[in-house]
Amino acid sequence: MLIAHNEWSSVDLTCMAIQQSLCRNALRQLVTLGEKSHTRLAPLLRRTVCQKCHTLLACPKGTKLRFRSQRMRCWCAFCGTTQTTIVDKNRAWNPSYPELFLAASSEEDCRGDKSDQN
């Protein structure tokens, strides 16, 4: 069975629209769950979700980045809102909780390996 090229593109667009709506729904549920339980999302995760339409900003078609005067401006391609993050080379880096946990666990693994060898 052969399908014309224009039908393939409509099928691909339909699948992409379904994936985007599922992703948006999952992100909306994640944000709502965080609000109900009074917990904060990790900063890395919070920066990749649009605050207005709850779409993923990490994909190349979902966002436009602009760097000016030590600020990173992220523009959502779906709703047009912008998020600004300060990027300063002199500013102290404050890692989020998962990054602190990973750093602590990797240090413990390194110590454990050295003690096992002795």
Residue 59 backbone dihedrals phi, psi, to 5 degrees: -75, 150
Between 5 and 94, where is the model more confident?
94
> Residue 2 — very low, low, confident or very high, per pLDDT cuts 50/70/90?
very low
Mean pLDDT of 73-90: 82
What's the pLDDT at 20? Answer: 78
| Parent domain of 105 | 5-117
Dihedral sign for Cα 47, 53, 56, 57, please.
Answer: negative
Phi, psi (rounded to 5 degrees) for 31: -65, -45
CB 78, CB 53: distance < 8 Å: yes
Structure confidence by residue, pLDDT tens digits, 8-35: 455 666 777 787 788 888 888 888 888 8
pTM of the model: 0.53
Q: How far apart are CA 9 and CA 15, in angstroms?
A: 10
The answer to whether residues 62 and 27 touch, using CB atoms and an 8 Å cutoff, is no
Q: What is the mean pLDDT of residues 60-71?
A: 79
Count of structural domains, the chain: 1
Q: What is the pLDDT of residue 1?
A: 40
Q: Does the structure show a pLDDT above 70 at 66?
A: yes
